[in-house]
Structure formats: C-alpha cells, structure tokens
Amino acid sequence: MNKNLLLLGVFLIGCLSALGQQEIKVVSYKLNTTDISVRTNRRDDPTGKPCALIKVLFPKRDAQFLGDIVGSVSYKTNEYWVYMPQLSNQIEVRLDGFKPLVVKFNELETGILESNQSTYELCLLAKEKDAPQMYDDGMVALAHNDVVKAFDYLTKAANMGYAPALFVMGNESVVPFDENFDTDPNDDDAYQEAFRYYKKGAENGSPDAQYALAKMLMDYKEGKVKIEVEGKMLDDNYIWTLLEKAANAGNADAQWYMITKYDWCRQAANNGIAIAEFGMGVWNDTFEGMNSAAYFHSWEEYLSLLKSAVETVEDRTKDARKSTEWYAKAANKGLDIAMWTLADKYQEGVGVEKSIEKALSLRKKVAENDNIYCQLYLAQAYRDGVMPEFFDDGGPGGSIVEITNDLSVVNYWMKRVVNHTESDLVQLVRYAGCSMDMTLYDISYRCTEKGLKKESIYWLQRAAEWGSEDAKEKLGQLGFAVPQSLKSDD
C-alpha cells in the first residue's frame, strides 16, 4: 500500500513528547469510624502498639505498596488491606504500566494516621489511556524504532475504534513496521487484513482510510489484489462517496485521484468542492499562460499528473472561457492555486479580458496567505517594475508586462519573505533558483539610492546573514556589526 503515508506519519510525530505512562489517581481518603475491622483483625507495630488499617479500594490486581508497612499486604475483593503505624505520613503505590503514585496523607484533608486502631479508606482510580493517547504513544514508539511497543499501542488504539490507528494498522498489514519482517507483499491474507482495518477506519471518519479503502476497491476491480468484499462496495457511487469525503477533508491523494477522472471531477465540482472546480478548469484549459504549479510545491507533481491525464483524452473540449469560469469559482472559495492560475489568465488575457490590476490583486491575496514563493515573486516584480508573461512550459514569454516600480512594496513583501523560518528560506533558495544574498544586497543598494538609510542597513544585514561578502564589507565600513551567517556552505 502507500508506504509514504506511513513514513510521513512517522516524520510528523517525531517531535511529540516522550512516551507517557498511565496514571493512578486518588479519588478519596477518609477515616471510617464505623469500620471495626482494625480491632477484629488487629496488627501491632514493632513497638507493640496497634496499627492503623488502610483499606485501599483499588480493583487492579498485583499492586505493590511501599512505605512504613507492617506485615504483608492482603488483597480482598477489590481492596487491599495495608497496616501502618500511627503517625505514618505516606505510602507509595506501584503497578506495572502505570506511573508510581506517592500518596502524602498530610496533603489530603483527613491528614496523617493520627489514630491507632482506626480504619482509613483510600480510594484509587487507574486512569487508563484513551485511544488518542495510545495512538500517540504508538507513533512515538514507531519513530524510535520500537516496533514491538508500537504494534502493541496501535493495535489497542485500533481495537478501540480510533480511526487514525485503524489506518496505520491497515498500512502495517501490507507494509510491516519492521523492515526485516519476512512477509509476502502480495499475500492475500495481508490485503484482507488491511481491507478490514481500512473499512473500519473509513467508517469511523479517517480521510486517509477512506482514500486507502477506495484505492483498494479500485485495485480489486482492476485485478491487482484479491480480497473478499461485499458487491455493493464495488459500485462506482460507493467508491466516489469515499473519495469525496476524503477529498473534502483535505486528503491530497483523494483530491488528485478524483479530478483525474472527468466524470467524478465534474460531479464533485457541481457539488461545490473547490479542488474539483479547479480540476474542471484544467480539464477545459488550453494551457496558454498557465505556470501556477511552479509556486506551489505541494501541487506541482499533482498538476503535472493531472495535465498528463487531461492531454491524453482524444477530442477533449478546450474552452478557455469556461476554464477561467471554473478557476474563478475555486478562487472565490479561497483556493490559492486557483487564484494564482486565474491571475495568469488575467495577465495573459486568456479566456478573460486582460487586466493587470486584477492579476496583481489575486497574486497579492495568495501572497497574504503566506506563500513564500508568491511573496518573493511580488518583491522581485515590484523591484524590477515588470511581470514576465509565461509560456506553457514555464519559460518567460516574448513580451513584458510593466507594473509600477515601488520600493516600499518591495520592502513589505521581502520582509514577509525573510520572516519565514530558516528551513523555508533554504528550500526557497534551492527551489526557486534565486541568489538570496544578491537579491537582498540589490534591495539594499536601491534603498541607498532613494536615501532610505535605515532600510538599506536592514537589507545589508540580511544579505550578510546569507553570506554576501560585499554586504559584510559595507557594514564594516559603516561601523555596523556583521551578523552571524545563516547560510551553510552547501
């Protein structure tokens, strides 16, 4: 099955806290003046004085008690009898799988064991882990390669019906946690077990399980796997509903799979799903002036596959205006890639009347949604006073769209860029192919030309952080400290 999903899950939980334990809680602690058990079952301390009796109401067997305990602890129906000398102040409770509990009597309302030949009642509750905690602990164990503990926790969470655990256990059935596990990836029993987990996970609302189940059903129909399945589950409407639920919940694989199937894409688009509306735009597109994927890492591969699926259809209807209308519907729902694609169309005048103002407005909306690539695009566009037109292959077109050269706008968007995390910036440099140190130094130079000394120093410092030797030299000449470089040699 989709091993990448499992690996992604492991990666995402790598930052979770250390493996937790179940806890024992104090429910109540009181003196029972009507209970004469301590007198009818007297036990003396080493000095010959009678002990107090603590009846620990706790249904768990095999608990251990540590402290100033006299004699052995006896277990009766759902309670332990523990004898302790007068003025004892604490007792420790231990049980496998639980955090040790130290009960300090002086911190509770009844206080220390002041009365001998008295019976006290200490009621404890074993706070069992709930399914989400079991799942989190299992995923942490998996990240630490403790496959035995991971399997135990995740199986328990799955048996409780926890949807994310059901999905992971479905994956585990055909892609075991332990890479050295001897299994046949084509084993029918393994797929049947995965099918069972995916089905339950899908019913319990896991978008990942819904997609996995739909994909397995489609694989079955294509003869790729052998499973026992109810006939009604092979109906296209049943599979489509699974994909729709998963897609609507944000599962990217389900979204892509749906929109590569024209009938399903159209049905989902007619139901108002934004990603399907975008898909319908692609199905009708002439692909003139469409370069959006370059600014959306998460969509580049999906869009490439979608365009490939669309272009293989013979006699496909190409309607630039209808395509733009679909993009507009998705853009109105706030889908970033749809807004950027629609901006392409306005910039080129493809399927809609050309409008640089509308193109810029749409691009600004996407950039305001914190897309670092789009923010850099706008900073460079306003720096140079031009926005290039695009061919379908992403290269610059033969003409240039002029916009207002505005250094204040450059400062705004570039500050949004550099305020991203270092890892985001490193990825930007590698992916966008820009030279960050030169870009920042160039902005500083332009600020100097405009007499914007404060802004110029700011950008010199940022350029120096990215390794610009010219910026470091300039800062030294001006008497400013050179900040530590952020950029590694590689």
User: What is the tens place of the pLDDT at every residue in 2-41?
Assistant: 444 443 343 333 333 334 457 888 989 998 888 888 888 9
DSSP H or E stretch at residue 381: helix 372-384
- For residue 383, how far is the Cα from the chain centroid? 36
- The pTM of this model reads 0.61
- The 8-class DSSP code of residue 222 comes to T
Q: In angstroms, rounded to a whole number, what is the distance separating the alpha carbons of residues 191 and 197?
A: 10
- Give the domain 272-403 fold: 1.25.40
Same fold, 3-16+131-258 and 272-403: yes
* Start-end of H helices in 249-335: 252-259, 262-270, 274-283, 297-311, 320-332
Q: Is it the case that residue 313 has pLDDT exceeding 90?
A: no
Separation between Cα atoms, residue 226 and residue 24, nearest integer Å = 47
Q: Give the span between the Cα atoms of 458 and 443, in whole angstroms.
A: 10
What is the structure's pLDDT at 145? 84
Least confident of 333-347, 351-365, 386-400: 386-400
In DSSP notation, 92-145 reads EEE-TTB--EEEEGGGSSS-S---TT-EEEEEEEEEPPPHHHHHHHHHHHHHTT
Task: Supply 325's token pair.
Answer: 């209308």
**Residues written for the chain:** 490
Cα separation of 18 and 26, whole Å? 24
Going by C-alpha positions, the residue among 126, 116, 123, 120 that lies closest to residue 62 is 126
Of 393, 272, 258, 252, the C-alpha closest to 326 is: 272
Banded model confidence at residue 204, pLDDT cuts 50, 70, 90: very high
Q: In CATH, what number does 3-16+131-258 get?
A: 1.25.40.10
Domain ranges across the chain: 3-16+131-258, 23-127, 272-403
Residue 178 has pLDDT above 50, yes or no: no
Measured between its terminal Cα atoms, the distance across the chain in Å is: 35
